[in-house]
Amino acid sequence: MNLKGQRIKTSEAVSNVSNTTGRVRAATIADRVGPFWTLGVLVLIIAIFGVVTPNFLSQGAWIATTVATTQILILALGQTFVIATGGIDLSVGAVLGMSGMVGGLTMATLMAAGLPSGATIAVGFAAGIAAGTAAGVINGLVITKMKVTPLITTLGMLGIATGVGYLIGGGQQIATIPSDITTIGFTNLFGWIPLPVLVAAVLAVIAWYYLTKTRFGRRALAIGSSAESAKRAGINTDAHLIRIYALAGGLAGVAGMLLVARLSAASPTAGDGSELHSIAAVVIGGTSLFGGRASIAGTVIGAVIIAVLQTGLVVAAVDPFWQYVAIGVVLIVAVWADQQRSKLLARKR
């Protein structure tokens, strides 16, 4: 009887070891494949659209996709740092529209005053980016000093920025801006690379450097992993969070002004829905919604995936409202995959 019981215990022990080994292997695979699965998804989506709609591979479709990527990516770069800290910014789309309106009003006022076109555009861009940065600083101050959660704070800022955008233009867009601004929005290098895309690429490289090579990025990840531990390590978490949200707001301002250059007008609704796209791009790219893990390269791929879905569905003559459905589904799947990966890695530890 004792011998039989010992055999059963031994069998259970072997089974537990086997299960543990299997979980460790699965976690190792998840950890290694994680950074590359989004690239595989992107290639698959491009291949599908290329077969279903050959026009998707044309120069026109390429430019449309890259232009769409620009807006999503610039917002997503700031969102990456925010989510890396365990926060979220729902206001970036509204701040984009508000920043564009501030920049548009500034340019319209200076143009009416007779200021040269180049100086008008430069001051307009500066005003728009400053407005976005100010909105981000307010978000950071409310979150850190008033202890309001990022979700509620940025949701409130979404409403505030939307209202301010409408008030600036009286509910209308601002189109009385220098025509020279289209040089920024429509210049295509070598016929294939729009100038705003080059700006977004440079910003992505800078963001990657700061996230991976500097204390700025390491502190953001430390706060996302454990804000309390970060404080004990001597990090001024409040000041750093304010910087992070200021960065997200400033990048929203950049995206807003580049969109003004593309549209030759400022519209308060220009950023509607962009917050969903930026969050989706970040999460699809492998940044954890729970903080502590982030990838700029993944965010770039995630932004391209969202843009490809947008352009591909349009070229395929699919009802544009299906874009929201597709992006929503992709976002849910990405979050689910992130949760499963986190569970596997936790078991491995």
Indicate the pTM of the whole model. 0.87
Q: How far, rounded to the nearest angstrom, does the alpha carbon of residue 284 sit from its chain's CA centroid?
A: 10
Alpha carbons 298 and 335: distance in angstroms, whole number? 14
Quick check: 103 and 270 in contact, CB under 8 A?
Answer: no
SS percent in the chain: helix, strand, coil, step 5: 80, 0, 20
Mark 132-156 as b/e (b = at least 16 C-beta within 10 Å). Answer: bbbbbbbbbbbbbeeeeebeebbbb
Quick check: 250 and 129 in contact, CB under 8 A?
Answer: yes
pLDDT tens, residue order, the chain (349 aa) = 555 555 555 445 444 444 544 444 544 454 555 556 788 888 888 888 888 887 877 777 788 888 888 999 999 999 999 999 999 999 999 999 999 999 999 999 999 998 999 999 999 999 999 999 999 999 999 999 999 999 999 999 999 999 999 999 998 999 999 988 988 878 888 777 888 999 999 999 999 999 999 999 999 999 999 999 999 999 999 999 999 999 999 999 999 999 999 989 999 999 988 999 999 999 988 898 889 999 999 999 999 999 888 888 888 888 777 877 887 887 788 778 777 776 766 666 5
Q: How far apart are the first and last CA of the chain?
A: 37
The identity of residue 183, as a single letter, is T
